[in-house]
A and B are shown apart, each in its own frame.
Chain A
Amino acid sequence: MANFPIAKYKEDKLVELYYMTIGILLVTNENHTSINIHNEIVSYILKRSSSEPFHDLILDSNKFLDKEISIVEILLNSNNNKLNKSSSLWYLYKRLFILKYKASQEDHGYISNFIKVVLKSCELHPTNYYAWNFMRWLYKFLKFYNIKIKLDLINIIEGFCFKNNNDFASWSCYIDILTFQWDDLEFFKFEIQKFGLILPSNKPQESNHIDLLQRKLEKLINWINQNEIISNVSYESLRKIFKILESSNISIHLNELNFQIEGFNEYLSQRGIKFSLKNGWYELNENLDNDLILSQKIKRHINWIRLLNWINTNTKQQTKTNKH
């Protein structure tokens, strides 16, 4: 796997090639050849920047890394969905983050900008798989290297989720962060070492993880009920918390949910309304298109039933709710 033969090219040609790759990156995604050439020219320029700087106006100076980061950020924050969800570009962004981290010593003020770029991309492209995966990785990075930033990342992500209640990628990231465990970092450590970073020797300790999770669970259930959330996303997101808390005292939540479900089942029975759960949808025995309020209540009701069915089958917890 020979790298691009950079040494063959004079400086002015390399500059032209660098700009050419940016042009290609602007109009295509996952063009591996272009990304390889781009990445290798960037690495070459960065290696040379201190000892033998380039004379080109843009490429010459120690600010090249920041300029390169800005270019990738423009792509990730473009409204072209193929670019803002490009797996290769997100991987490139991760590499640039590592380079910035290595170059920044103790001053980590740049991290808030990375977070803003991720969030912007996630706003532009709902359920952005690779962007939210980057956010997960960034959270682990901050925890692992014990880096304090001014922003409260958990609150920011929670806020995004509450505003975007049908965005499963953000909810999945949020729940993963809430349920973060130091024992789950094997691949993260592997990748960090692949990037040439040294692992810290001391493992930071967490306390009251289960207590925090129980409080968050209560908060999320209340939020869903108070805001009368219809989308199934937040309900499904609770599955992981219940799974992790399965050996803890969560029966109070399950009992309340059962009580709520039984009450509404009784109401539906009195109205003569029957429903049957299908794969990812349900069917009713009558058309309720003219009763929006009841239709939405039924949707919420079914989301809770689906959650309890999942808990019954896939955790040690047993609830009273019957499968439909």
Chain B
Amino acid sequence: MPLHKQKHIEYIVSLDKQQKDYHYWATEHLRLNGTYWGLTALCLLDSKDSFQKQDIVDFVLSCHNEDGGFGAFKDHDSHLLSTLSALQILLIYDSLDVLSTEDVDKLVKFITSLQLENGAFQGDRFGEVDTRFVYTAIQSLAILGKLNSQIVDGAVDFIMKCVNFDGGFGLVPGAESHSAQVFTCLGTLAIANKLDLVDQELTGWWLSERQVENGGLNGRPGKIPDVCYSWWVLSSLALINKLDWIDYEKLKKFILDCQDDVSGGISDRPGNQVDVFHTIFGIAGLSLMGFEDLVPVDPMYCLPVEVSKKIKKWPYNDNE
């Protein structure tokens, strides 16, 4: 089956035109994340201009809150997850300058105020701690060029406490290994330039076992495969230079079989309802495998390589 690029572009563009649907409003709390997923997918399909830049930037700014962070929609509370999506979108559009120096200072304060004594981050004032939030905080600060030793070292210490005997990582120390958490942990370590701390053979073993007979990747042992793990597992393997531990041809077939060849979009498994979450991570997985002429994606940031090049790499040479 071919990759239905044009249909996927049309599907993504159509998502913001469903304002009469109940589902559109029931997913309001994911809108900024969804916009990032859609925009990044369009970028990888080399169709960034299918979204109207000014409309998107205006929407991002409508989610900006007094506390410096971004909510998922206008009048939603700030959270690290939506804050990272906002910054990724602005970076893709070369529009970080819509934030004033004062805005950036408040934003940095918002993010760093969520770091705990043990180096972990909570997602917002609710207090939930998860390696997802460490990654989103560290990538956000990296985009802003505002990492510092204290923040990075604390985050790295916490991440290394989340590694398990099997080479996987969990959401907190002692939690079950999970492919998505492996990505957030390796991604954090990669941004912190600390991947040398990882037993890469053991982690690669656990990750490569995620590929099952139909070619798809699962998140944990015994689970059925899901397209989103084409990103979480594959990007993790890319970060430790073990992409070739996966059977590309089988995985490509699995992802392509999950396409809706009529209306576009990619689902979790063949025959299921498509959504933008699985669409971006299916396309990003294909991009990591160098599929056709897809725009290359950076496994560290889930951004087009051309975009992530703009991020200042840690450790900074100037002031650290």
Contact = CB atoms under 8 A, between A and B. Distances in A.
Interface stretch (A50-58, A215-223, A231-239): A231-239
Interface string B62-92: 0000110101100111110100000000000
User: Which of B77, B117, B176 has its CB near the most chain A CB atoms (within 10 A)?
Assistant: B176
B236 interface: no
Contact of B211 (A1, A27, A280, A310): A280
Contacts of B125: 1, 3, 36
B166 interface: yes
Given A33-B29, A129-B178, A186 B173 contact: yes
A269 to B, nearest CB: 24
A129 B208 CA distance: 20
Contact of B246 (A88, A239, A279): A279
Interface string A256-298: 0000000000000000000000111100000000000000000
- Interface range, A side: 35 or more
Interface string B113-124: 110111000011
B212 interface: yes
A30 interface: yes
A240 interface: yes
B26 interface: yes
A35 B127 CA distance: 11
A164 to B, nearest CB: 10
Nearest to A190: B118
B165 A176 contact: no
B222 A233 contact: yes
Contacts of A310: 205
Contacts of B202: 314
Contacts of B222: 127, 166-168, 231-233, 236
A34 interface: yes
A133 B176 contact: yes
A173 B126 contact: no
B126 A35 contact: yes
B161 A186 contact: yes
B78 A133 contact: no
A30 B176 CA distance: 21
A319 interface: no
Interface in A305-324: 310, 313-314
B220 A239 contact: no
B16 interface: no
Contacts of B71: 32-33
6 contacts: A32-B29, A32-B126, A39-B126, A129-B171, A129-B176, A233-B221
Interface of A: 1-3, 27-28, 30-36, 39, 87-88, 91, 95, 127, 129, 132-133, 136, 166-169, 172-173, 176, 184, 186-188, 190-191, 194, 231-233, 236, 239-240, 243-244, 278-281, 310, 313-314
